[in-house]
Amino acid sequence: MKDNLKGLAYSTIKERIIKCDYSPGTLLKEENLVNELNIGRTPVRDALGRLEQEKLLTIKSKKGILISPIDFEEINHVYEMRMLLEPYSLQAYGNRLDEKSLLHWLDVFSQPIDVSDLLTSDEQFHQFIISATPNHYIGEYYQALQNQNKRFNAITGLSKGRQKATDEEHKKIIEACLMMEWDQAAVAMKEHLLRSKYATVNRMLQKQRSETTKEQK
**In this predicted structure, what is the pLDDT of residue 1?**
57
Q: Are residues 190 and 84 in the same domain?
A: yes
Please give the residue range of the domain that contains residue 205.
72-216
**In this predicted structure, what is the pLDDT of residue 104?**
98
Round to whole Å and give the CA distance between 99 and 115: 26
Q: What is the pLDDT of residues 121-140, one digit of tens each?
A: 999 999 999 999 999 999 99
Confidence of residue 208 (pLDDT cuts 50, 70, 90): confident
Q: Are residues 109 and 143 in the same domain?
A: yes
Task: Return mean pLDDT, the chain.
Answer: 92
**Domain CATH code at residue 90:** 1.20.120.530
Q: Are residues 90 and 191 in the same domain?
A: yes
Weakest-pLDDT range from 2-11, 102-111, 169-178: 2-11
Q: Indicate the length of the chain as a whole number.
A: 217
Domain boundary among 67, 82, 100: 67
Q: What is the pLDDT of residues 39-67, one digit of tens each?
A: 999 999 999 999 999 999 999 988 999 99
The DSSP-derived string for 32-75 is HHHHHHT--HHHHHHHHHHHHHTTSEEEETTTEEEEPP--HHHH
Collapse the DSSP code of 85 into the 3-class scheme (helix H, G, I; strand E, B; otherwise coil) and give the result.
helix
Count: domains in the chain: 2
Q: Are residues 46 and 87 in the same domain?
A: no
> 178 with 97: CB under 8 angstroms?
no
